[in-house]
Structure 1
């Protein structure tokens, strides 16, 4: 479970999303029909990953974890918001490069990470590969 927590933190740094931005996005959805359609698309997306993509996803985790650990420490020591923003951008770029070097595009990586949050079966498949 600790690995998945680190994985989710890396995903949020990678995409530049914050939990607050995600909550705002969810709150902005006004129509229940749109939410149902999104839920159906999410369920469909949850099962659309090949074993090869999931293996690549798992294989890139150590590199992302190393970047996350390095930049977490550096962010704690950053002096000022501008320095912190620069470090976050640098970390995000390194994570993008790590994902792409691992053979995945960022969208596929993010889709897998998002699907892991809502699909227990997929989580178990990924856990089995770790």
Structure 2
């Protein structure tokens, strides 16, 4: 499944309003001395972000249809595991992903760099765009 640029940008805005996978834990602010992401790390962040959209969408559909509380908890645990795997697939830790998400939310320059990467993915059919994992 390929995502349109506008859908990705809308999701990006939503994602930066609440960094991913907080799981009830506060995401610390950009720490003093923590390096801003270079282009490679930012590309990995965008790839993880696109995968997260797919994972979250799939699990939202499952959660909507489920009524059993035990099954709901199981689905939520699986979703968290899959979201963690989606982030770590490109070598980012969940903590680093969340730090980058927070930095992008607060830094217009980083926002522009992320948008440029998304636009490149949307306009270049040969660019590898990760497909969401299916259950």
Fold shared by both chains (TM-score > 0.5): yes
Asked if 2 retains the 8 angstrom alpha-carbon contact of 1:6 and 1:65, the reply is no
Q: Give the unaligned 5+ runs of structure 2.
A: 1-8, 119-135
Q: 1:100-115 to 2 correspondence within 5 Å?
A: 100-115=88-103
Asked if 2 retains the 8 angstrom alpha-carbon contact of 1:11 and 1:113, the reply is yes
Residue 60 of structure 1 deviates from its aligned partner by 1.9
Question: Aligned partners of 1:58, 1:87: CA distance in 2, in Å?
Answer: 25
Further displaced range: 65-74 or 120-129: 120-129
- TM-score of the superposed pair, with normalisation by structure 2: 0.66
Question: Aligned partners of 1:70, 1:106: CA distance in 2, in Å?
Answer: 20
Residue 101 of structure 1 deviates from its aligned partner by 1.2
1:15 aligns with 2:3: no
Change (3 A) 1:65 1:114: same
1:67 aligns with 2:55: yes
1:49 aligns with 2:56: no
RMSD of aligned Cα (Å): 2.8
Asked if 2 retains the 8 angstrom alpha-carbon contact of 1:11 and 1:110, the reply is yes
- TM-score of the superposed pair, with normalisation by structure 1: 0.69
Question: Aligned partners of 2:97, 2:109: CA distance in 1, in Å?
Answer: 17
In structure 2, which of residues 5, 12, 36 is the aligned counterpart of residue 4 of structure 1?
A: 12
The structure whose residues are more often helix, as a share, is: 1
Cα displacement string for residues 35-81 of structure 1 (whole angstroms, at most 9, x for unaligned residues): xxx87x55764x62111110101112232111111000101111143
Q: How many residues align?
A: 110
Higher gyration radius (CA): 1
